[in-house]
Amino acid sequence: MERAELIAWLGKSKTAARRTLSQHLKTMPIDTRFSDKWMQALVQYHPTRSYPAANVVFALCARPPYFTRSLFVEARTGGLIDCSWVKCIENLYGDYDTDRQARTKVLAALRNEAFNSSAIQEAREHMGNRCCRCQKTCKRLVVDHCGKPFARIVDEFLEAQGETRLTSLKVRFSKGTFKLNTRAMSKAWRSFHDEEARFEGLCARCNCSLGSRGYRHKSGDT
């Protein structure tokens, strides 16, 4: 498939492309192998991996800790390899940024480590099923940081560690998720996070509308 045909289907902008592909993937079954001509064409633009020009087999799986629908490619051995369609779109539209991706990996590792901390697990057990903002009853609330935003806690942790850049923290990819590279750093981060964090339960809509609550990272690589 030619690049022009793929962009004509996705849309003229990166935002339009993400919306188109997100809606397209919602039509795909979870935990089932499938082939798709649009995904086949798109993965050829992955910035860091190479995929066969034909007969790529895909799968959508719920990825922990937030169980979002994530795209995977079937490996020759039969296992599944993570495949970021967002990176493919960014590279296709000429907007892939290596430094930004490095920051994203560190933030993902910090969130994954925090998700497994004792404080957030305890908060989840006691928050009930009613959104603190709109009072809507939900089957599953999102645990969100209230008072001090997560981004601010990250910046204060970096300062306590004597670091000024997010990318100073080293991460590794293990069992489908990013984690901090050493147990000592993981322990230090979880301890700091649990002391500083306060939580509230929100529905998905309220959680998305709040974002980072207006706070921007102060670290040197933002």
- DSSP state for residue 174 in the 8-state scheme: E
The whole-number pLDDT of residue 144 equals 87
pLDDT score for 10: 96
Cα(40)–Cα(49) distance, integer angstroms: 13
Q: Tens of pLDDT along the chain (222 residues)?
A: 899 999 999 999 999 999 999 999 988 888 889 999 999 999 999 988 889 888 999 999 877 665 677 899 998 887 888 888 988 998 898 876 777 778 888 998 999 898 878 888 888 888 888 999 899 998 888 888 888 889 999 999 999 999 888 888 999 987 778 899 999 999 999 999 999 999 999 888 888 887 766 677 765 554
**b/e per residue, 68-91, with b = 16+ CB within 10 A?**
eebbbbeeeeeebeebbbbbbbbb
Distance from chain centroid for Cα 34: 23
Query: How many whole angstroms separate alpha carbon 213 and alpha carbon 55?
Result: 44
Which residue, 112, 140, 152, is CA-closest to 203? 140
* Residue 155 and residue 219 in contact, taking contact as beta carbons nearer than 8 Å: yes
- Structural domains of the chain ordered from first start: 3-92 (3.10.450.40), 98-210 (no CATH)
Question: Looking at residue 222, what is its pLDDT?
Answer: 47
Cα 180 from chain centre: 15
